[in-house]
Structure 1
Amino acid sequence: MMNSNEPSTPGVANVSMKLNDAQRQYQQLLDRITPFVLYRWLGSAGLLSVFLLRIVFSQGWYIDAHAIYILNLLLAFLQPKFDPSLQDDLLADEIEGGGEDSGESLPSQRDDEFRPFVRRLPEWQFWLSSTRATVIALFCTFSEAFDVPVYWPILVIYFFVLFALTMRRQIQHMIKYKYIPFDIGRKVRYGSH
């Protein structure tokens, strides 16, 4: 008797095994390069440079959709996973609503407690998504079907306006809630050793 999970023909089984092997090798490659953050980003920058050179030499219009997607990833990378403004709103609603424990909880100083910065989009996912997007965009430059003619100055202006507005809002949010999304690399030392 045949198991329902097994493919019915040997050709399908062979293709399935080859696909599983390729996926396993791809995952092994990703696992091996995970600790090398600087080299990963340098490789992605090189890939992005190849993509930009391809656009210049082919005189295509591919850059805008890719740039907006990368901007979206950057904003998710810069934003905290738990938004303090939403937490403040929820806390204000609980106090106004007079919930079960209003006035019965211990006082706390919310400004003094340690709250680590947890990103909405982790660095690894940001790198992986942006690199995949660049590879896909690079392959799309080899097909005329994706070369849609547009009036490029409008798209460039649109990107810069979108970038300026969203980054201004994000920077104001970071200043208001006093968080820095980047690890500068300075080690905090306590006491004098």
Structure 2
Amino acid sequence: MAGVGGNGASAAAPLNQWRHDGWKLFQYYLDKTTPHAVYRWIGTFVVASLYALRVFYIEGFYIITYGVGIYILNLLIGFLSPLVDPELEHSDGPILPTTDSDEFKPFIRRLPEFKFWYSITKAFCVAFVMTFFSMFDVPVFWPILLCYWIVLFILTMKRQIVHMIKYRYIPFSIGKQKYSRKKSSASSSGSRAD
């Protein structure tokens, strides 16, 4: 009996090592994509387009598409929400300013952009794989699901926009603010060099 357990453990060791090495390689390439946000989102758009084409040509799996849509809506709420919501909890850390005299605190998302992208991409990949199994093709009348999702989206975004207006925050940065020297200080510093 002792020999059986020993052989099973020795056979599982290479499998665990292979899985560990594969995960490290995957994590390495995932980490390398971090600074390339535009290319990551283009890749996600390609994956989502492949999924949409598959669902369109098969003319099925609408319930999976609805589930992915609800999941993405949930992720979007986390992406647009601050880390510390003033309505839900009070924190000693940075909070959103509520009056003009409050100190500016940077907007920190509840769900960072990288995790938002990764979750959406993973959702479309899982949904794409699910379209190869007929047990997930539940017959539904898709226009009802689409209308229901649109109503949910409008109500959720309305609530989120009201929250943004109430606490005066914008979850997007348009770009880094650039400062330029005044011409008078630049010309005076140039004349001192002479």
Instruction: State the TM-score, normalized to the length of structure 2.
Output: 0.80
1:130: Cα distance to partner? 0.7
Shift >2 Å, 4+ stretches: 6-10, 84-87, 109-112, 188-193
Q: Find the counterpart in structure 1 of residue 73 from structure 2.
A: 71
Task: Kindly provide the amino acid, as one letter, of the partner of residue 149 in structure 1.
Answer: P
Q: Which amino acid aligns with 1:59?
A: E
- Aligned: 1:152 with 2:142: yes
Could you tell me how far 1:134 is from its partner in structure 2?
0.6
> Aligned residue for 1:125?
115
**What is the TM-score when the length of structure 1 is the normalising length?**
0.81
Q: Distance in 2 between matches of 1:135 and 1:11?
A: 31
Residues 6-15 or 73-82, more deviating = 6-15
Amino acid aligned to 2:50 = V
Per-residue deviation, 1:191: 6.5
Contact 1:7 1:13 in 2 (8 A): no
Amino acid paired to 1:155:
L
Structure 2 residue runs without a partner (length 5+): 1-5, 92-98, 187-194
For 1:84, what is the secondary structure of its paired residue?
A: coil
Match of 1:12 in 2: 12
Distance in 1 separating the partners of 2:157 and 2:100:
27
- Give the paired residue count: 169
1:1-193 maps to which residues of 2 (within 5 A)?
9-60=9-60, 61=62, 62-86=64-88, 111-189=101-179, 192=182
Residue identity opposite 2:59 in structure 1: Q
Greater relative contact order (CA < 8 Å, ≥ 6 in sequence): 1
- Structure 1 residue 182: Cα displacement: 0.8
Give deviations 1:150-189, integer Å, cap 9, x for gaps: 1211111110000000000101111111111011114153
Question: How well do the aligned residues superpose, as a CA RMSD in angstroms?
Answer: 2.1
The AA in structure 1 aligned to 2:109 is R
Gapped runs of 5+ residues in structure 1? 1-5, 92-108
